Chain A
Amino acid sequence: MSRIENHIILGELEEKKEVWITVDGKKIPAREGEPILSALLANGIKVQNISAKKHEPRGYFCGIGRCTNCVMTVNGDPNVRTCVTLVEDGMVVETQDGLGKWEGQE
C-alpha cells in the first residue's frame, strides 16, 4: 500500500484503525475515516467507472464532490461519489459500468 508516510511539513502519518473494503471482489485495506477514493489510490486502483457513451475508463477529476467523475457502485447503490464517501469496514465497491444499476435491476 502506498502512502505519504513522512511529510516535511505535516510530519509522520497519524496512526489510524485499518478497515477492509472489497473492490471488484478483491479485499483492500483502508484507513478509518478516509474517503473510498484515497483508499483506491493507495492500493493502485485508478479507474472508477466505464463511461456510458464511449465505454472508456474514467477516474476522479476534482476530488471534492463536485464533478462526479469518480462515481462507483457502493453496497449496491450506483453513482456514489467515492471522493466524499467515507470507507466503512466490509463495504462492497464495484467499478461502475455506464450509469450503473440498482441491486436486482435487470
Chain B
Amino acid sequence: MNKDVEILVIGAGPAGLSAAIEAARYGADVLVVDENDKPGGQLFKQIHKFFGSRRHQAGVRGIDIGTELLNEVQELGVEVMLNTVAYGIYPNDEGVALCVDGETGMIVHPQKIIMATGASENPLAFPGWTLPGVVGAGAIQTMINVHRVPVGKRVLMIGSGNVGLIVTYQLLQSGAEVAGILEAAPALGGYGVHSAKVRRAGVPIYTGHTILEAVPNEDLSGIKGAIIAKVDERFQPIKGTEQFIEADCIGIAVGLTPDIALPSMARVGFTNGGRLGTQVPLHDRNMMTTKDGIYVAGDSSGVEEASTAIEEGKLAGIAAAEALGKMDAEAAAGAKAKVWESMNQLRTGPFGDGRAQAKEEIIRKMDEWKVENNAC
C-alpha cells in the first residue's frame, strides 16, 4: 500500500501534535503516525500543573493540555494513525516504511517529515539494578496515573530533578509511602515549587547520598530495600556511612536520552548536545536537520520539557508549511518570531538558561555545517 502526503509527522506527543496542528492550520495535508494505541505521548501521565507563565499554560495539568491538543487535531481534521510504527526511512525519496497493527505494511511518500520521537529513560548501574522492582520513574508515573496500579508499598526515589520530585509527589497522591529521595549532589535539583511540595509532605531527603546496592528478597523476585551511603566531594561513597533503607520498589530518575533511531536512519548530522543529550540531531531555528525537508522537534531534538516540545513542534510545523509554499516568507517569519519569543521565556531561570545555551550551541554548529556545505 502506498500513500502520498505533504507532511508526515512521526510521534503524536506534545511536539508532534503541535507540529501537525500548526501545519494543518496553514493548509498543509498532514498525516500523524504513532506506535502507541493512544495519542498524547507522555502527556496523559502528567497529572501535575505545569510551571511557567500563563501563556505557557502554567497551572494547567499535562493531561488537560493533551486533551486540548487532541481536540484541535480533530477540529482541523488531521489524520492520526495509531498502532503504527515508522520503522524505516529510505534515501532518495523512496519513502517511509510503516507497519500498521503489527501486520500491514505501508510506504508513505511525504514531501516533508517531522520527527518527534521522544526520549527513553536512563538506567543507573549498581549491584541489583536488574532486579524486578528497580524501575524508571516515568514507568512509575505510567503505572500509577494511567493504569492505576500500585508499583509498591514503599518506594525509594533515586534522583531529585523535576521527574524525581514530581513522581515522588504523585506516589504520595496515589497512596504509596515514599522511603526517601536520594541525591548525590549537595542540594535537591528541580524547580522550587516541586521540591517544596515533597519537603512539606515530610519525605525523607538524602542529599549527598548514593545507592550502593539494591537488596533482593530470598528468591530474587523483587527487592526488600537498598543500601545507601554518604558521598564525599568527589561523589565517592564514604566508608562507615552505609545504611539500609527498606523499600519494595526503587524509582530511577536520572535523566532521559533522545530517541534518535529514525533520524539516524535518515543519516542526518548529529552533535553532542551536552545536557540535552549526548547525541542530538543538528538543527537550525526552523528545527530542520542537515537533510533538506527533515525536521525534528521535542525531546528527540534534545531533552527538555513538554512546554518547550510544544513550541518546537510549532516551529517545525510552520517551517514545513512555509517550505511547501502554504504561506509567504513574511507571514512565516512573524509566526516563528512569536513562537521564539515564547520559547525564550521558557528557557530562562537557573535551569532554563543552561538549556538555552545548549540549544544555541546546537544551532551554532548547524550554522557552521551550513557554511561548510554551502547550504546557506
- Chain A residues near B (Cβ < 8 Å): 2-5, 7-10, 13, 34-35, 37-38, 41-42, 46-48, 51, 56-67, 83-84, 86
A66 touches B143 (CB 8 A): no
Within 8 Å by CB of A3, from B37, B148, B219, lies B148
* Additional pairs, 15, CB under 8 Å, beyond known A13-B148, A41-B147, A61-B135: A3-B150, A4-B148, A4-B175, A7-B174, A9-B61, A42-B149, A47-B222, A56-B220, A59-B222, A60-B139, A61-B134, A64-B36, A66-B120, A66-B121, A83-B142
Mark out the residues of chain B between 34 and 70 whose CB falls within 8 Å of any chain A CB in the assembled complex.
Answer: 35-37, 42, 47, 61
B34 CB, min distance to chain A CBs, angstroms: 11
Q: Knowing A46-B132, A59-B133 touch, does A7 contact B220 (C-beta < 8 A)?
A: no
Measured between beta carbons, the chain B residues less than 8 angstroms from A83 are 139, 142
CA distance A59 to B140 in the complex (A): 13
Q: Is B302 an interface residue (CB 8 A)?
A: no
A35 touches B147 (CB 8 A): yes
Q: Is B277 an interface residue (CB 8 A)?
A: no
Most buried by A among B143, B151, B259: B143
Q: List 17 A-B contacts (CB under 8 A).
A: A3-B148, A3-B149, A4-B144, A4-B149, A4-B150, A10-B145, A41-B143, A41-B147, A47-B221, A51-B130, A56-B130, A59-B222, A62-B139, A65-B35, A83-B142, A84-B37, A86-B37
For residue B172, which residue of chain A has the nearest CB? A8
Query: Total interface residues on B, using CB and 8 Å?
Result: 36
For residue B123, which residue of chain A has the nearest CB? A61
A46 CB, min distance to chain B CBs, angstroms: 4
Most buried by B among A13, A34, A48, A64: A64
Measured between beta carbons, the chain A residues less than 8 angstroms from B145 are 10
Measured between beta carbons, the chain A residues less than 8 angstroms from B71 are none
A87 CB, min distance to chain B CBs, angstroms: 11
A62 touches B149 (CB 8 A): no
B47 touches A9 (CB 8 A): yes
Q: Knowing A9-B47, A46-B222, A84-B36 touch, does A58 contact B139 (C-beta < 8 A)?
A: no
Q: Is B138 an interface residue (CB 8 A)?
A: yes
Measured between beta carbons, the chain A residues less than 8 angstroms from B212 are none
A64 touches B138 (CB 8 A): yes
Q: Knowing A4-B174, A10-B145 touch, does A41 contact B150 (C-beta < 8 A)?
A: yes
B135 touches A59 (CB 8 A): yes
CA distance A38 to B175 in the complex (A): 17
Measured between beta carbons, the chain B residues less than 8 angstroms from A86 are 37
For residue B142, which residue of chain A has the nearest CB? A63
Measured between beta carbons, the chain A residues less than 8 angstroms from B142 are 63-64, 83
For residue A8, which residue of chain B has the nearest CB? B173
Measured between beta carbons, the chain A residues less than 8 angstroms from B16 are none
Measured between beta carbons, the chain A residues less than 8 angstroms from B37 are 84, 86
B36 touches A60 (CB 8 A): no
Q: Knowing A41-B149, A46-B221 touch, does A61 contact B133 (C-beta < 8 A)?
A: no
